[in-house]
Amino acid sequence: MTDASRRYPDLSVRILDPRFNALRLPLASVECLYQGTRWSEGPVWFGDGRYLLWSDIPNNRMLRWDEESGAVTPFRRPSNNANGNTRDREGRLVTCEHLTRRVTRTEYDGSITVLADRYLGKRLNSPNDVVVKSDGSIWFSDPTFGIEGYYEGEKQESELSACVYRVDGQTGEVSVVADTVLGPNGLAFSPDESVLYIVESRGTPRKIRAFDVAGDGRTLTGDRVLIDAGQGTPDGFRVDIHGNLWCGWGMGTDELDGVRVFTAQGEAIGHIALPERCANLCFGGRHRNRLFMAASHGLYSLYVNTQGVKGG
C-alpha cells in the first residue's frame, strides 16, 4: 500500500472532471488484496458465497479471494489458461479458456459444460472475455492472443478470423455478431442493454467501439468509435448503473496504469491509479459498490459511490 492510499481522500483516486466527484468516496482508499500472479484477468463476484474468483492466465490457474477471511486459495488448477469469467442468469460460472479454445459453464455440481468451441466446424481461436445478457444469451470475444505463443496458452494455427460471437440462451446456436473489430477484447452492455461496447485492442491506437443492439436482441448495428484510447490500453471493463464505463487501463506509466472512468458519451472523468497495469475488473460486495481490479501481479479493491449493473 502506498502512502497516498493511507490518506483520505486517497490521492490515487484522481478527478479528471468534476462529474467524477459524485462517484468517489472521500473516506475510501485503494486496497491491495493479493500479490503473486503473473497476469491477473477475469474477476467475477459470487455474492451468495462472499468470494471473488479470478484468472492467473500464465500460471494456468484460477484463484479465490474470500471476503470474510481475506484468504486466497486455489479454485481451479489447471484452468486451461482461463481468461474472462462471468456468471449466467442462473448464477453459474461462465469461463473463456485459451488452451482448449472454448467457452464453458461450470454447473452446480462442478461438472463442465462446453457452450462453444467451434463455428461452422472450425475451432475458435482463444475466447477472451464474456458477458451474459438478460435473455440468457452469452456474448464473447475471440481474438488470437492465446494461440500466438506459449505464455497464455499454446501456439496453434488460427482457423477463424477474430470475431465476437453470441450463443443463444435457448438453442445454444453460435452466431457471429461482429467481425470488423481488430482484436476484439473486453465486452460490456449498457445498463438497458441497448448498446454493446467492445474493446478493439489491435487497432493503433486502441479504441472502444459502440454497437447498437437491434430490436431482435441478436444482431448489432451502428458501429462507431466511442473512445480513442490514445496511449492507453483498455482491456476489460464494466459499466455502472449510471452508464459510466470503468476500464482496465495502463501502459507502464504512473499516469496510465490503473482504471480510467468514462461517461456513456466517452468523456474521461476519473482515474484510479495503481502501481501496475489493470487488465480487468468487476463490481462486487453486498451492494455491488466495491470495485475489484485484477492488475498485472495482484488484486486490488476500492469502494465507490455507485453500483455495478446487475449481471456485469
Residue 308, Ramachandran bin (φ over 0: left; ψ between -120 and 50: alpha; else beta): beta
The count of C-alpha atoms lying within 13 angstroms of the C-alpha of 113, restricted to the half-sphere facing its C-beta, is 11
Q: What's the 3-state SS for 301-312? A: EEECCCCECCCC
Residue 128 annotated as part of some ligand binding site: yes
On the question of a cis peptide bond just before residue 43, with omega within 30 degrees of 0, the verdict is no
Domain boundaries of the chain, sorted by first residue: 80-230
Residue (of 84, 79, 54) closest to 153 by Cα position: 79
Greatest alpha-carbon span in the chain: 56
Is 41 known as a binding-site position?
Answer: yes
CATH number of 80-230: 2.120.10.30
Reference 149, options 246, 81, 62, 55; nearest CA is 81
User: Is the pTM of the predicted complex or chain greater than 0.85?
Assistant: yes
For cell 455478431, the residue is: 177
Catalytic, out of 235, 240, 254, 257:
235
235 is catalytic: yes
User: Tens place of pLDDT for every residue, the chain, 312 residues?
Assistant: 445 567 899 999 999 999 999 999 999 999 999 999 999 999 999 999 999 999 999 999 999 999 999 999 999 999 999 999 999 999 999 999 999 999 999 999 999 999 999 999 999 999 999 999 999 999 999 999 999 999 999 999 999 999 999 999 999 999 999 999 999 999 999 999 999 999 999 999 999 999 999 999 999 999 999 999 999 999 999 999 999 999 999 988 888 999 999 999 999 999 999 999 999 999 999 999 999 999 999 999 999 999 999 876
Is residue 240 part of an annotated ligand binding site? Answer: no
Rounded to whole angstroms, the Cα distance separating 272 from 92 reads 30
